Amino acid sequence: MFRDPIDPSIVPFVREMKEKVLAGGEVTFDEALRLAKVSSPEEIDLILASAHELTLHFRSSKPDLCALVNAKSYLCGEDCKFCSQSARYETGVSRYPLMSPEKILEAAQQCEAAGIKSFCIVTSGETLNDREFEQVRETFRILSEETDLCLDGSLGNLTTGQIAELRKVGMRRFNHNLQCSREFYPKIVSTHTYDERMETLDFLKTNDVEICSGGIFGLGESTEDRLRLAFELKKHEPHCLPVNILNPRPGTPLEKQSPIDPVDALKMIAIYRFIHPRANIKLAGGKELNLGAFYQAKALKGGANGLVVGGYLTTRGNPVAEDLKILKRAGYTVKSEPVTAA
């Protein structure tokens, strides 16, 4: 089998990009695209190794971990083609209203007992009604009093007043993923616009709320689309950047979507580190199916520095102990009183 020849100019180029970022500079779209076009295993390994140097320089050898609870399921009227929680599709997932504060507290305490320091309350749907919001506010208050967790929310669109109320009772960070590039977005969602997603991120930044925002690889987008997403996100400087990889769900329009090449995913995660040197880049939904333990460990030594652990919204993840083994294999510091979240 013949391998693609190594471009003799790529080695100094990758080193130049790494040094540029280490010195506080920023890579351009064209420079990131040149990185994305490398093809030989040696070139890709060089990009991964350089991304890991950036990770250790700007972050640390302690991984950033978080867990979540799907607190309100399958009650969303939006038409995101990847999502099994859209009520427009027959996906067979469990449907239930907002969980009680006591039940969410139980899930949070299990998370804390496993050594995870960040916990996110997620609800399906565009927004919360007044009754649901008051219940969520009370839940954050209880979790703040009963746990030492860093508390996050993914709750749709909220008002300035609602965000302020949640911050008072302990919410630190808010998740609002862009999912894909502006150009590709109309192929995935029609019930809300890309500008609406961006406006919410602007709103969070204006109100001094930490931002968690990322996207999904494997929707059918191009390499250029993945890079455009990274640069759209850069405008908002997310503290946390989750990288999901499509797990095609039965009943959704993307149920027959072909899986992404794991090497392509690895290369893009590494390039995201060049573009977002200070972010916590986390492997999230779909990582088990698409990457497995081997490629997850490579990603964690090639740009990623964290995981979303346990289960996701409608799919299971690895047991936490398995995730910790992968982190150790990748060289991260994991202890029984483990892992601090940034």
Dihedral sign from CA coordinates of 110, 291, 279, 210? negative
- Helix, strand, coil shares of the chain as percentages rounded to 5? 40, 15, 45
Distance from C-alpha of 142 to C-alpha of 104, rounded to nearest angstrom: 10
Cα 137 from Cα 129, distance rounded (Å): 12
CATH class of the domain whose range is 63-329: alpha beta
Q: Are 217 and 265 in contact (CB under 8 A)?
A: yes
Decide if 336 contacts 115 (C-beta within 8 A).
yes
What are the structural domain ranges in the chain?
10-54, 63-329
Name the 3-class secondary structure at 18. Answer: helix
In one-letter notation, the amino acid at residue 162 is Q
Work out the end-to-end distance of the chain between its first and last CA atoms, rounded to an integer number of angstroms.
Answer: 45
Rg of the chain's alpha carbons, rounded to an integer? 19
- Maximum CA pair distance of the chain? 63
Tokens of 160: 């300035």
Per-position pLDDT tens, the chain of length 342: 345 556 778 999 999 999 999 999 999 999 999 999 999 999 999 999 999 999 999 998 889 899 999 999 877 788 899 998 888 888 878 888 999 999 999 999 998 988 889 999 999 888 899 999 999 999 999 999 999 999 999 998 888 889 889 999 999 999 999 999 999 999 999 999 999 999 889 889 888 899 999 999 999 999 999 999 999 999 999 999 999 999 999 999 999 999 999 999 999 999 999 999 999 999 998 898 889 899 999 999 999 999 998 766 666 677 788 888 899 888 888 765 444 444
